[in-house]
Amino acid sequence: MKKKHRDNFYLNKRHETAGWTVTRRDFLKTSAAVIAGLSIRSPFAFAGGTAGRKNLCFGIVTDPHYADADTKGSRYYRESLAKMSECVALMNDKKVNFLVELGDFKDENRPADENSTIQYLHTIEATFKKFNGPSYHVLGNHDMDSISKTQFLNAVRNTDIPNGSRYYSFDSKDIHFIVLDANYRSDGSDYDHGNYDWTDANIPPGQMDWLGKDLDSASNPVIVFVHQRLDGEGDPTIRNAADVRQILHRSNKVLAVFQGHHHSGAYSRIDGIHYYTLKAMVEGSGTDNNSYAVIDIHKNLNITVTGYRRALSSELEKV
């Protein structure tokens, strides 16, 4: 690839939104040879000036909704397997410290069939686990289509986390990471075998208590992962989001929250905390309609989000 092609691999557009600098980096059309050549020389290198001072980096992907099911509207369920393969190949090439999927990992047939759903889960997990490093799952509402949380968690593995953990935390390179589970109905019961309303997402009292204690004991800056949104209003937002945000803000330790669920993506900054919602992988056909991102946390605690395909890129400054 000639130098000018490498330098112009992205189409860049910059704009300011609520104090957030966004760089839209849409790939030019590429062939499968680009992915095949990742191990030789990555064409995805971020050209930001702070790249040499990063503390750690990790990958995020959300809402693949994988199933061997016919397309419905803009959701191309079958294509998420190839899209995930591309994502994992890039994460391996970039040698990110770990990879997180932010929920709605799999989907189901219509009509629903438990055995098929479990097979789809095993299939997408096998692709996800080709990442050469620690990997983690966040529970999404569609992860309980046709099956229970226990069935889902028995089919996946979170590195060095006790099997069956619905919410948990871990540390990597002086940053503390928290994974939340908002897949509870207003009455406190778990989402189970499709028995849920996707607009009725809640963090129950027991998990709220755990969150407060975990933040109190954290000695490092914090990043939070959750499927449904903790910012905004309306259906995609966790019903008791304001109470959760108060706990996060009160700790004075949280740098950012990374979320999925809202397929078109979003961003806001509330009380000095960045809330970045990644665009869904399942939306649209073809490689150009993939979505995933690499997150660099720099030594000054500024955060660079490098979005690939349709995902938005951003510089999130520490407030």
Ordered structural domains, the chain, with CATH: 52-316 (3.60.21.10)
What's the rounded Cα separation, in Å, for the pair 154 and 206?
Answer: 22
- Inter-CA distances, 74 with 25, 44, 118, 150, 286, Å: 22, 27, 23, 30, 12
Q: Please state the rounded mean pLDDT for residues 297-312.
A: 97
The string of pLDDT tens digits covering residues 182-201 is 999 999 999 999 999 889 99
Kindly tell me if the per-residue pLDDT of 146 is higher than 50: yes
Which pTM does this prediction carry? 0.85
What pLDDT sits at residue 25? 37
Query: What mean pLDDT comes out for the span 253-259?
Result: 98
Q: For 42-168, where are the alpha helices, taking DSSP H only?
A: 80-94, 114-128, 149-155
In 10 A of CB 29, how many CB atoms? 8
* pLDDT band, very low/low/confident/very high, at 93 (cuts 50, 70, 90): very high
Tell me: pLDDT of 254 over 70. yes
pLDDT at residue 319, as a whole number: 81
Where b means 16+ CB within 10 Å and e means fewer, 151-183 reads: bbbebbebeebeeeebbbbbebeebbbbbbbbb
Mean pLDDT of the chain: 85
Residue 135 clears pLDDT 90, i.e. is over it: yes
pLDDT per residue as tens digits for the range 13-39: 322 233 333 333 333 232 333 333 333
The sheet with strand 303-309 has its strands ordered as: 10-17, 20-27, 312-316, 303-309, 291-298, 54-61, 99-101, 135-137
pLDDT at residue 53, as a whole number: 54
Over its C-alpha atoms, the chain yields an Rg (Å, rounded) of 19
Q: Work out the number of other CB atoms within 10 angstroms of the CB of residue 270.
A: 17
In this prediction, residue 169 has a pLDDT band, given cuts at 50, 70 and 90, of very high
Q: Phi/psi at 160 (nearest 5 deg)?
A: 60, 25
User: What is the spatial distance between Cα 69 and Cα 318, in angstroms, rounded to a whole number?
Assistant: 42
Q: Report the pLDDT value the prediction gives residue 198, as an integer from 0 to 100.
A: 87
Q: In what helix (H) or strand (E) does residue 179 lie, and over which residues does it extend? A: strand 175-179
Of 45-59, 73-87, 227-241, give the lowest mean pLDDT range: 45-59
The per-residue pLDDT for 306 is: 98
pLDDT at 246: 97
